[in-house]
Amino acid sequence: MAGTYAGCILWVNLSTGEIRKEEPSEEVLRRFIGGRGLGAYYLSKFTKPEVDPFSPENLLIFATGPLTGTAAPAGGRYVVVCKSPLTGLMAGSNSGGHFGAELKAAGYDMLVFEGAAKEPVYLSIRDDQVELKPAGDLWGLETDVVTDRLLEEFGDPKARVACIGPAGENLVRFACVINDKTRAAGRSGVGAVMGSKKLKAIVVRGSKRLNAPDEEVFKNFIREKVEKLRGHPVTGEALPKYGTKVLDNIINQNGLYPTRNFQTGVFESTHEVSGEALVEKGYLKKNKGCYACPIRCGRVTELPTGNKGEGPEYESGWAFGACCGVKDLIAITEANYLCNRLGMDTISCGVTIACAMELFERGYLPKEDVKPGPEPTFGSSEAIVYYTKALAYREGTLGDKLAEGAKRLAEAYGHPELAMTVKGQELPAYDPRGVQGQALAYATANRGGCHVRAYLIAPEILGIPEKLDPQSTEGKAQWVKAFQDLTAVIDSLGICLFTSFALSAEDYRDLLTAATGFDYTLEEMLKCGERIWNLERVFNLAAGLDPKDDTLPKRFLEEAMPEGPNKGAVVKLSELLPEYYKVRGWEDGRPTKEKLEELGL
């Protein structure tokens, strides 16, 4: 097997208990790289696009990349791929920490779970020794407790655990998979699919070493890329000092910090909930890195209440903060801790609660549906903490409806226009009226509302790799396609997306060729990204996606931004979308036969 691939895919049939191994084809690895790409290939090949996400026939895939578990900077990523219960589209949820590296060290490029267990189980992996074990005593427990129990039972404190919490068990549509207690494969409800399979956890310990074809060449490239990361103002200074919450004040000053369910882009209390405030109030105790990470952007925090944990990061702090109109950093951090322990995506959780708040304040959500909880009003610290827990357990009428996500919640009360979602997934922390390129990236994202499939905030706001006018539409379609394709490559490599602030496509090509021995040209590598993007699109179209779904909530297309630097702005999607389809080589939002043939699909 080429280079740093483990050369083994582990298939686990949860219905029969059968476990088998498969050697991946070098041709498939070369075309799809690993991670997100390899997972997408296997889901497309072995799962019918029309399958119910909670059906035993929906595969659940944990995929590493060729850089996962190597000394490549931030090479600790893995991706969970399945059909999403939140969107009905292909989910590919990325996580860091140390679990992915440990899985690779045990000798596996990918885990593929098929079927569903009758009773709760967990998978135990110790190198070549793999077995399913009963998990009835773990069912119902929070992720940190499960992790501690499994490590004790496994008898090796250096093992790594990925698991679900009560939210995954209760099929909350945005439940996530938590590894290492605080890292999350967060978006699109992959934890709910794990719960539907009655798979509580995976515990893994590996002892195998991965070697590049020429270790000296690989090590030299690694040293060069680490120096680039350490010397860059974002990856060498801002992220280590403040984590992702360095963005709060920057995004607010640029007038696209979504506030009160995206009604405006300016939050008057940003300074009270920012990354700087986390430091000034003494809640931040230290920063922390994932496997082989020189950036170390993780935040270890402790509150005056005595509660400890990690975060909140930028998105989490915003979702429970400005999006809900809350300026209480303690309550925001408590809600974030709850999401880690209960196993939920913080973005979807906060945005869904914000949707409920607007529904309630407009009189569309009746008071009797709220009981016995507090009134969900903007600014309520009590509400964000209460409903975060209530929805994980589907407690009460509102808790049960919140667990379905913002789109289904707003539809249930007759006002779908108040759900700030794209293709059913809640939008992250950038109001698209302030960034036309990011708006297009949202509308066309193949896993629904998402910022990490094409982070146009980098050029439009931060000026990386060059500064673009955020309100201009010119050339944005080409930028979005380029970012989408390169991000697909990065997600497939098993390396953190944050490295892209400092590294170029050429840098990733260097690492990929040195690690695998596959001699990619830059064009060939980027073609892999385009192939992965189109494969995901083809699956989604077969799953029921309509190109008309490449749109945004009416608020952004018709309601002008009411204040701030972007006052009067709306998203010019009718200008952006046709150009994007043209750049992609698609007709009416569908890849043409010629495009698919060109990509070997």
CATH of the domain at 546: 1.10.599.10
- Three-state SS for 64? strand
How far is the C-alpha of 190 from the C-alpha of 164, rounded, in Å?
10
- In one-letter notation, the amino acid at residue 525 is M
Classify residue 17 as left (phi > 0), alpha (psi -120 to 50) or beta. Answer: left
Specify the DSSP class assigned to residue 9: E
E strands present in 473-566: none
Residues 372 and 457 in one domain: no
Residues 163 and 73 in one domain: yes
Residues 446 and 419 in one domain: no
The sign of the torsion formed by the CA atoms of 391, 267, 480, 555 equals positive
Q: Which residues of the chain have pLDDT under 50?
A: none
Residue 515 phi/psi, 5° resolution?
A: -75, -40
In SS3 terms, 96-151 reads as CCCHHHHHHHCCCCEEEEECCCCCCEEEEEECCEEEEEECCCCCCCCHHHHHHHHH
List, in order, residues 6 or more apart from 576 with CB less than 8 Å away: 436, 439, 440, 443, 473, 476, 477
How far is the C-alpha of 455 from the C-alpha of 487, rounded, in Å?
9
The length of the chain is 601
- What the block records as the tokens of 114 is 């098929």
Residues 315 and 447 in one domain: no
On whether the CB atoms of residues 389 and 397 are closer than 8 A, the answer is: no
- In one-letter notation, the amino acid at residue 528 is C
How far is the C-alpha of 237 from the C-alpha of 239, rounded, in Å?
6
Domain final residue, candidates 425, 447, 478: 425
Domain final residue, candidates 205, 235, 256: 205
- What the block records as the tokens of 254 is 């640029």
Residues 387 and 459 in one domain: no
pTM of the model: 0.97
Residues 420 and 448 in one domain: no
Domain final residue, candidates 407, 425, 443: 425
| Number of domains present in the structure of the chain | 3
> Residue 2: its pLDDT value, please?
80
Residues 404 and 484 in one domain: no
Indicate the angle between helix axes 143-154 and 329-342, nearest 10 degrees.
50
In a domain, 516, yes or no: no
* Structural domain that includes position 107: 9-205
CA distances from 69 to 6, 74, 330, 505, 536 (A): 10, 9, 35, 21, 26
> Residue 243: its pLDDT value, please?
86
> Residue 375: its pLDDT value, please?
97
- Three-state SS for 463? coil
